[in-house]
Amino acid sequence: MTYDSFPARTTRRRLLYVLAATGGLTVSGGLGGARPATADAPAVAGGRARAVLPARAAPVRPRALLPDREKADEIREEFVHAWEGYKRLAWGHDEVLPVSGRHREFFAKGHPVGLSIVEALDTLHLMELDTEVDRCVSWIKSRLRFDVDADFQVFETTIRLVGGLLSGYLATGEKALLDRCADLADRLLPAFTSSRTGMPYRYVNLRTGRVSGATLPLAEVGTHILEFGTLSRLTGDARYERAAKRALRAVVERRSSIDLLASRINVESGQWADRAGIAVDPPADSFYEYLWGAWEMFRDEECRDWFRMFAAALKRHQVEWVDGLLWFKHVDFRTGALIGTRQSALSVAVLPVGGDDELAADYYKSWTAVLDKYDVIPEEIDYRRLEAVGTGNALRPEYANCAFQLYWTTGDPYYRTTAWRYFRNLREYHRVRDGYTVVTDVTARPMTKGDHCPAYVFAENFKWLYLTFSGAPRFDYAHGYLSTEGKVLQGLRRNGAAGDG
């Protein structure tokens, strides 16, 4: 089966669902063949009817989502549980180890940058935990400095710290956050400007500007434009966006004759370091996400066209259906020949941003089958056998991310039902006395737990879920946009009053 043969997409049903989700209509079931969802019997998302229409200009978002207050409160409570554990055991450090009660630094040993604090800023704001926002802002003002003599990974610094400070600034208007953010981005710029190709080095020493790591994955080369573009607009300094765009162009120019990309590249020579066309799997994933994002946020038509070109090639060469489930095979990026049937749990978050809800809906359904099988989605599966091959789960947010994006755009209650199932399992299998922790084997019963709460948990899992159920007044559902790390880069309202920018 290929996408090119599908009949017209189900626009009317989608419109009706959006109206229902936003309070404009009561859905009583039977819309165009989709089963209404109940907590016990989740509906099947959409039918099989779809077509490859040119990707829409930008999604028409509802102005608000009808809140489910009870569920939103439960989600918020669990976020607070995780947050209190971090505060109690690891405040000021990057990440908490909630089982042993210790902490660890994410970027550089001995150099804490309060990563969980920065990651949490806009989630705290959206959940109206204002005392906590104030506590974080004070810590940032008094303690956070980036004059650090250590190598920081550029990609992670951008999506977590630059993005976190930006959304923190947008939430609070605290100029100090924007100043810290610009200072940090200035320290990252040598990674881009020292390279002949314009693609960034993997690491940069924040104090000296010394760069290292010439071969790096696609996502690390091309996941900067949303943060850097936002920063350029807020500061009036075009250097950030220019650097990020130049890196994207350098990659696009190196696509194969069938419009596929490999997964690792040398930024000095400009040569690919492998041949693996891995579609939306990491470490390519957010490269594609940011092409579309640059269109949605900045109306960058070139990025939009690049995204469409790659999406068309992906559909042409990498789609594989197994027992009615959609997957993306790994292929030689020059020939399209099969090289692998593994799929990462992270990949599910990429497609909904690309304007093709039908493809995204099918892919979400595939991962829902994995959730059904294991209760917690394993890091990696072999999709032909639907078997876990990477059996841990590092508190991954991507399924909840995708559920939110699809619910937001389509209003189909199926996404709330399945997101709720994800949440209940999260609470059942990842919760510990002092917060939330990773699972080391989702196939074991009882499931075995590790000792680590990644900082992105404060930016992502609970935020995606909260936005899905709360109809958060501090989020502008009509115009919002979130980064790959769940940072709201557009559409934050300062105090929740309608229309407040």
Q: Residue 434: which residues within 8 A CB-CB, separation 6 or more?
A: 85, 88, 89, 96, 98, 99, 101
* Largest distance between two CA atoms of the chain: 63
- Is residue 217 within 8 A of residue 283, CB to CB? The reply is yes
Using the rule CB under 6 A, give the single segment among 127-135, 233-241, 356-364, 391-399 that binds ligand DMJ: 391-399
Between 161 and 177, CB nearer to ligand DMJ: 161
- Is residue 388 within 8 A of residue 459, CB to CB? The reply is no
Between 34 and 108, CB nearer to ligand DMJ: 108
DSSP secondary structure, 465-498, as one string: HHHHHH--TTB-TTT-EE-TT--EEE-B-SS--T
Q: Round to whole Å and give the CA distance between 169 and 482.
A: 14
Q: Round to whole Å and give the CA distance between 241 and 100.
A: 42
Between 256 and 347, CB nearer to ligand DMJ: 347
By three-state DSSP, how is residue 159 classified?
helix
Q: Does 46 bind ligand DMJ (CB under 6 A)?
A: no
Comparing every residue's Cβ against ligand DMJ, the nearest one is 484
Nearest approach, Cβ of residue 380 and ligand DMJ (Å): 12
Using the rule CB under 6 A, give the single segment among 117-125, 296-304, 375-383, 393-401 that binds ligand DMJ: 393-401
Using the rule CB under 6 A, give the single segment among 42-50, 85-93, 178-186, 396-404 that binds ligand DMJ: 396-404
User: Around Cβ 181, how many Cβ atoms within 10 Å?
Assistant: 27
Between 16 and 348, CB nearer to ligand DMJ: 348
Q: Residue 283: which residues within 8 A CB-CB, separation 6 or more?
A: 217, 218, 219, 220, 263, 264
Query: Total number of residues binding ligand DMJ (CB under 6 A)?
Result: 8
Q: Round to whole Å and give the CA distance between 317 and 319.
A: 6
Between 396 and 452, CB nearer to ligand DMJ: 396
Q: Round to whole Å and give the CA distance between 406 and 20.
A: 14
Q: Which of 218, 205, 360, 184 is closest to 288 using CA atoms?
A: 218
Q: Residue 468 has which token pair? A: 């899905």
Q: Scanning residues 457 to 496, which ones bind ligand DMJ (CB under 6 A)?
A: 484-485
Nearest approach, Cβ of residue 50 and ligand DMJ (Å): 27
Q: Scanning residues 281 to 310, which ones bind ligand DMJ (CB under 6 A)?
A: 286
Which residue among 346, 348, 353, 442 contacts ligand DMJ (CB under 6 A)?
346
Between 285 and 412, CB nearer to ligand DMJ: 285
Nearest approach, Cβ of residue 2 and ligand DMJ (Å): 28
Between 126 and 394, CB nearer to ligand DMJ: 394
Nearest approach, Cβ of residue 220 and ligand DMJ (Å): 10
Q: Round to whole Å and give the CA distance between 277 and 274.
A: 9
Using the rule CB under 6 A, give the single segment among 64-72, 366-374, 395-403, 465-473 that binds ligand DMJ: 395-403
Which residue among 168, 217, 222, 397 contacts ligand DMJ (CB under 6 A)?
397
161 secondary structure, DSSP code: I
Strand segments, DSSP code E, in 197-322 are 203-205, 211-212, 215-217, 264-266, 276-277, 319-322
Using the rule CB under 6 A, give the single segment among 240-248, 272-280, 390-398, 470-478 that binds ligand DMJ: 390-398
Which residue among 87, 180, 304, 396 contacts ligand DMJ (CB under 6 A)?
396
Nearest approach, Cβ of residue 165 and ligand DMJ (Å): 16
Using the rule CB under 6 A, give the single segment among 57-65, 174-182, 262-270, 394-402 that binds ligand DMJ: 394-402
Q: Does 456 bind ligand DMJ (CB under 6 A)?
A: yes
* 239-271 CB burial, b ≥16 within 10 A, e <16: bbbebbbbbbbbbbebbbeebbbbbbbebeebe
Binding site for ligand DMJ (CB under 6 A): 286, 346, 396-398, 456, 484-485
